[in-house]
Structure 1
Amino acid sequence: MSGNVLLVEDDDAIAQLTKMYLEAEGYQVSVISDGSQALDMIKRTQPDLIILDLMLPGKSGVDICRETREFYQGMIIILTASEDEMSEVSLLKLGADDYMTKPIRGHILVARIEALLRRYHFGNHSQPTSVFNDAYGIVINGENHTAYYQQKPLELTQSEFEILQVLIEHAGTTVSREHCCQVARGIEYCSNNRSIDMRVSSLRKKLIQAEVFSAAIKTVRNQGYKLVGSQA
């Protein structure tokens, strides 16, 4: 698999080793070390995937990730110095599709990238559905990946939108955890993987915060999730 990767990393040794490893695997890699240059570079090059360090000069990786998600639909992998630097939930809320802790192991990084790009290309080339779908007062636009309730936009990450979209498309019926993993970019299905549960939990909180009281996401034990009306 190949693609264009933008690596935003201020540690020269890590950046060069990562670049050499990915190029050996067939990827085209651009490297920048100053966070203040990242947004312009992303807008200009529109990479297939961004590898983004959290601690950067000029602008932090947190701010870059958050602002990038306002215009960028591709994949973002966050690099953290330790698992305690930011929780997985916090990173997902920022809009990251995956994260890795340093030191980076090349073969693991390549495997993560390949998984993310498979999700991305699967989503882009899957059979298109109706642009607009709605259930229980929630309306989604599949073309520009936006969701609304009572004409007010819902502030969702890409993965949250994708989960909501599949729940709306199957409103009233149970969607398996495996299916949710397949549509939520960056999650490889595993029965013990709680990433999908955290994303669903975050989506529930977003709906409550937006005062969406006409619908609820119900957990169906040992099966998956179901979008139901508030009276169901």
Structure 2
Amino acid sequence: MDVVIEPRGDTALDTIEREAPDLVLLDIMLPGKDGLSICRELRPKFNGPIIMLTSLDSDMNQILGLELGANDYILKTTPPSVLVARLRAQLRNMRSSQPADAPQAPKTQHQLVFGQLTIDPVNRDVVLANEKVALSTSDFDLLWLLASHA
């Protein structure tokens, strides 16, 4: 697993958009913006699993996290090996629930260039006229699918 750590809640959405992860692991208590707010804002534009990992074990926090769009709510007292197994299970479930003809992550590592448009599948970056274009995961996948079959 490649892991990117963003310690601040107020910059987490930008990091998630830039990195386009397969899974997001959120703490509720983050400086700048709490994990529940991030989950609520992220869910409409992120199709992958969102997991809350926190020390707040009240029923209300768990219900709220799940109702706001989290796929799972895990307490920090969970052993690391169990945590990793649950994360892998979420990723397996996500992949098995996608239709066979759904756009997959780009398999090639070559950039596509169309005039002033550059699409980098490794970093999931799109640059148009020397300006980075922010795309959601599904928007990037659709653009890649269309551009790679132009």
TM-score of Structure 1 vs Structure 2, range by shorter chain: 0.5 to 0.7
The 5-angstrom pairing of residues 94-113 of structure 1 reads 94-113=68-87
Q: Counterpart of 1:36?
A: 10
| 1:84 alignment counterpart | 58
User: Quick one: percent identity of the two aligned structures?
Assistant: 42
| Counterpart AA for 2:67 | K
1:196-228 CA deviation, whole Å, 9 max, x = no partner?
xxxxxxxxxxxxxxxxxxxxxxxxxxxxxxxxx
**TM-score, normalization by structure 1:** 0.41
- C-alpha RMSD of the superposition: 1.7
Pairing 1:58-207 to 2, within 5 Å after superposition? 58-84=32-58, 86-126=60-100
- Give, in angstroms, the shift of residue 95 of structure 1: 0.2
Structure 1 position 46 matched with structure 2 position 20: yes
Q: Which runs of 5+ in 2 are unaligned?
A: 103-150
- Structure with the largest fraction of strand: 1
TM (norm. structure 2) is 0.62
Offset at residue 70 of structure 1 (A): 2.1
SS in 1 for 2:81: helix
2:123 aligned residue: none
Structure 1 segments unaligned to the other structure (5+ residues) = 1-26, 129-232
Partners of 1:106 and 1:126 lie apart in 2 by 32
1:27-68 CA distance string (max 9 Å, x none): 000101010110011111110001100000000101000000
Offset at residue 87 of structure 1 (A): 4.0
Matching of residue 55 in structure 1 with residue 29 in structure 2 = yes
- For 2:48 and 2:77, the matched residues in 1 are separated by 24
Distance in 2, matches of 1:86 and 1:111, equals 25
Q: Alignment partner of 2:37: what SS?
A: helix
Q: CA deviation at 1:86?
A: 3.6
Shift of residue 115 of structure 1? 1.0
Larger RCO (CA within 8 A; separation ≥ 6): 2
Deviation at 1:78, TM superposition (A): 0.1
- 2:66·2:73 contact (CA, 8 Å) conserved in 1? no
- Residues paired across the two proteins, number: 102
Larger Rg: 1
- Which residue is equivalent to 2:140? none
Structure 1 stretches of at least 4 aligned residues deviating more than 3 Å after TM superposition: 85-88, 125-128
Change over 3 Å in CA distance of 1:34–1:85 after alignment to 2: farther
